[in-house]
Structure 1
Amino acid sequence: MKYFLTLLLIAAIIGSCIGFYIRTEDPKTGEFLIGISIAVTFFITMPVFIYHRWKNRSVKDYMLTRENIEKMKDYSRDKKL
């Protein structure tokens, strides 16, 4: 998954660079390549990256519950001592 994400990101960056380079000669094709690269980055790469980073984590660990508030208070008390 890590290599897939890296490959997608590099492909999007290269596509954007090529789009900016081609845009001076052929604006329509250049803007199309830039648009596709941005769309791939935001609609494919970002959701896959978020899934990859959060797949083995529990959301309850990051929610503000009474138990977590007590843990934070205990931690801050211990830190001051």
Structure 2
Amino acid sequence: MKYLIIAVILASFASIIYGFSLDEDQKARADRFIGSGTVGLFLVAMPLFLIKESRGKSMKDYMLNEENIRKMNAREKEKGKKKKE
């Protein structure tokens, strides 16, 4: 999965760079390469990366709810006490 993501990112950047390097008389073709590179980055590589990195993690830990707010407030109070000492 890691190598697939790297390959998609490299291909997307190569497509964008190639699109910018085309002459003015091939504007439509250049726009197509730039657009496909952008789509590759944001609609293919980014979701693959997020799926890979979030596998096995609980989304409940990252949500802002009453329990997590209380935990954050308790940590802030502890940090404040340690700084005063």
Same fold (TM over 0.5): yes
58-67 vs 11-20, greater mean Cα deviation: 58-67
Structure 1 unaligned segments of length 5 or more: list them.
none
Output aligned runs, 1:1-81, within 5 Å.
1-81=1-81
Instruction: Report the TM-score when normalising by structure 2.
Output: 0.82
TM (norm. structure 1) is 0.85
Q: How many residues align?
A: 81
Which digits, 9 at most, give the CA deviation of each residue in 1:26-61, with x for residues without a partner?
A: 222211111111111121111111211212210110
Q: Residues 38 and 23 of structure 1: is their aligned pair in 2 closer, same or farther, counting only changes over 3 Å?
A: farther
Q: CA RMSD in A?
A: 1.4
Distance of 1:48 and 1:18 partners within structure 2: 24
Query: For the structure 1 residues 32 and 23, does the alpha-carbon distance in structure 2 shift closer, same or farther, using more than 3 Å as the test?
Result: farther
In structure 2, list runs of 5 or more residues that go unmatched.
none
Q: Return structure 1 stretches of 4+ with deviation > 6 angstroms.
A: none
Q: Is the 8 A contact 1:13 1:37 kept in 2?
A: yes
Percent identity between matched residues is: 30
Question: Which amino acid is 1:13 matched to?
Answer: F
